[in-house]
Structure 1
């Protein structure tokens, strides 16, 4: 893999890349980094004839902090489509997203459909399904980090004892049984080890799901405009059977598959928690490459 930097949407992005061919842009989530989350998919895509590029999102080191401090989803989506242009992507480019990267992918593919030929998303379903889950007792309990991160004390708690809270979250909540999340945590330490970086990451939750706006008609309209419409491109949605954050049943997965565009698929990844690309790489890569081969 090679390291690179590029400026897009006014942000200096750091990324890792491998391969030549159509652009495959890989978007990570919280509290991760692109190179770690997609360390298994990058070489697989390169071998399949893609230029796989995994940036760290704005604020996550060594990508720059945004000058205006914004971590709003709308700006993250603009980053994605600006990266397509800055990295010389064309209409054959594919978009891959996980967790926060999933929300970015759902939206970016709709905002600029001419840029992306196919979409692969895992771990956060489309808004209509995510919102329905987040409003349930189970969803509120399992997504409790959304609410904890609103508190001022979260900055101190997450930074304490060498980021022990995040280490425990990665090992015990966000990954499935038997998975060693040590490498994920090392990526987190590098990306969010500075106070300003950790604050930016928490602002993902504070500015997009803040207590004063979440659930208001204005908030619903804003998020509906961003990722309320499903992509027109063939889309693969994958979800871990052991995900303890966004728990999903067979009926919901089937409904997601039925709602997506023609040529789309939805599948469970057995034994994976919430970080499917890293936890079950052989199965994840197999499903992704098979889907790309069928829809090429």
Structure 2
């Protein structure tokens, strides 16, 4: 992927990594927590090789992208960012949207809010929230999700240091800590850590939702109509594969024509753990 370039969209300056021909169909790749666009390097190269114009932004609040001037880190704001980036980058109806973790949450909202912008989509490691109600509150999953509840407290900013981030990667995708360096840089400043925590606080506190993103926020909970491929690591240490209904129930929460696939020998950051399997699945789907 190229050097960082800047794209202005939705009132923010997005730092982006890009690849592929400038006149190819847009492929917008959205990362999650704690992560950066660098984890898309394998998929980006594969997509560029098929003629796509690949753009992978640092999500709002992750340096060098701007902090949200209005303090909005709700899912609706992330969805609005995706559609605004499509507009700013000159995307059309041939564009595809791919997201991992929080990036996946942004994808669901963006597709439902503006389906005409996107031809197909891929999400990884986070199904729609509606698919989680059955298994999320199991004892084992609540242990995995301890950080979500920690981030609701005043201790969060102190807890989220370099060692904490490294620990999450070690638990979620053992043996792949080589991706930590860009993550620690993106979350190096206190204000960037606060932004990353803000995603989780807005998730559980509707009082942090801004009215300007009400439509996208509502859309994020809808099924939508753009078909998507959902991928999940069989050994995901963040969100257990056993709680998301990959045996068939998950498809009820996805748009008609969608598909799910379990990636063996992969944890949470499946795109860096099993790049060949992920690339093959994504390129076949697109």
Match of 1:217 in 2: none
Q: Secondary structure at the match of 1:58?
A: coil
Secondary structure, counterpart of 1:7 in structure 2: strand
Distance in structure 1 (CA, Å) of the matches to 2:269 and 2:256: 26
**C-alpha distance in 2 between matches for 1:273 and 1:71:** 26
Q: TM-score, normalised to structure 2's length?
A: 0.91
Q: CA deviation at 1:224?
A: 7.6
What SS class does the counterpart of residue 96 from structure 1 fall into?
A: strand
Equivalent residue, structure 1, for 2:279: 285
TM-score (norm 1): 0.88
Instruction: Quote the offset at 1:194 in angstroms.
Output: 0.5
Kindly indicate whether the alpha-carbon contact (under 8 Å) linking 1:124 and 1:130 is maintained by their aligned counterparts in 2.
Answer: no
Give 1:157 deviation, angstroms: 2.2
- 1:265 is displaced (CA, Å) by 1.1
From 64, 67, 71, the equivalent of 1:65 is 67
Aligned equivalent of 1:208: 203
For 2:211, the equivalent position in structure 1 comes to none
Work out whether 1:5 is the aligned partner of 2:6: yes
What residue in structure 2 maps to residue 241 of structure 1? Answer: 234
Question: Does the 8 Å contact 2:113/2:216 carry over to 1?
Answer: no
Confirm whether residue 263 of structure 1 aligns to residue 243 of structure 2: no
1:181 matched to 2:180? The reply is: no
Q: How does 1:105-184 map to 2 (within 5 A)?
A: 105-159=107-161, 163-171=162-170, 173-175=171-173, 177=174, 179-183=175-179
Unaligned runs of 5+ residues in structure 2 are 209-213
Name the counterpart of 2:270.
276
Query: Counterpart of 2:185?
Result: 190
Q: Report SS of the residue matched to 1:266.
A: strand
Task: Name stretches of at least 5 consecutive residues in structure 1 with no aligned partner.
Answer: 215-220
Runs ≥4 in structure 1, deviation > 6 angstroms? 221-224
Q: Aligned equivalents of 1:58 and 1:5: distance in 2? A: 13
Indicate if the aligned counterparts of 1:72 and 1:204 stay in contact, CA closer than 8 A: yes
> In structure 2, how many angstroms separate the alpha carbons of the residues matched to 1:138 and 1:166?
21
Range that drifts further, 22-31 or 259-268: 259-268
Contact 2:80/2:216 (<8 A) preserved:
no
Deviation of 1:223 (Å): 9.3
